Chain A
Amino acid sequence: MKNRIKELRARFDLTQKDLAAKVKVRRETIVFLEKGKYNPSLKLAYDISKVFNMKIEEVFLFEE
């Protein structure tokens, strides 16, 4: 599963720490998410999408 967190974070001018604070996770979790080394829970995916005012499928790209 790929995601657009890095791209969206840059667009919204947020640092990894800012995003982590907004969704109440550790900074490392954002780092691993951006690198594709961690797949978030549905709750975290929803919270991240909410920060960017987008739907989950617009932020997280599910590949078949």
Chain B
Amino acid sequence: MKSLFLPLFAITTVLAVTGIEIFQVGSGTNTSTSIAEIVYVIMLFIIISLSVYMSIRRSSDIKAGLPADDELSRNIIHRAGSFTFFVSLFIWLVLLIIEAHGNIKSKYLFSFGLIINSFVFMISWAILQSGGMVNEKQD
């Protein structure tokens, strides 16, 4: 059961904290909703939806007497994680450039970095999960 609740708990806690922080800062300075906040909420919604979907699937597998994790699901998580790490190098670079040339605060920078990385991970996980993973050339 640890494998079922721990990822969901970690993801939702981190996202909830960063979400609350952004809206608290935003509500103090500006009452109108910015495009960045809308994008943030959409990404937050997608991440939480996929996390819930992942947990429900795992839960149904456990109820059916099947394992929650196996070699394919572990390979998918590893590949999605390594892809996210590669992409995150560019994401942080872009965010640092934006911070240097714009008026974005560090708080926003880290929140957006975190949410974008989580988003990339969840999307790459979903793509691999739906399309399968061939680990050798088929030609």
Interface residue ranges, A against B (CB under 8 Å): 1, 17, 20-21, 24-29, 32, 35-41, 43-44
Contact = CB atoms under 8 A, between A and B. Distances in A.
Contacts, number: 56
- Shortest 8 CB-CB contacts between residues of A and residues of B: A37-B132, A25-B70, A32-B132, A29-B72, A26-B70, A38-B132, A39-B135, A41-B71
Contacts of B133: 32, 37-38
Interface string B90-108: 0000000000000000000
B132 A20 contact: no
Nearest to A43: B71
B136 A26 contact: no
Given A28-B129, A29-B70, A40-B71, 5 more contacts: A24-B70, A25-B70, A27-B61, A28-B73, A39-B134
B65 interface: yes
Interface in B35-91: 61, 64-73
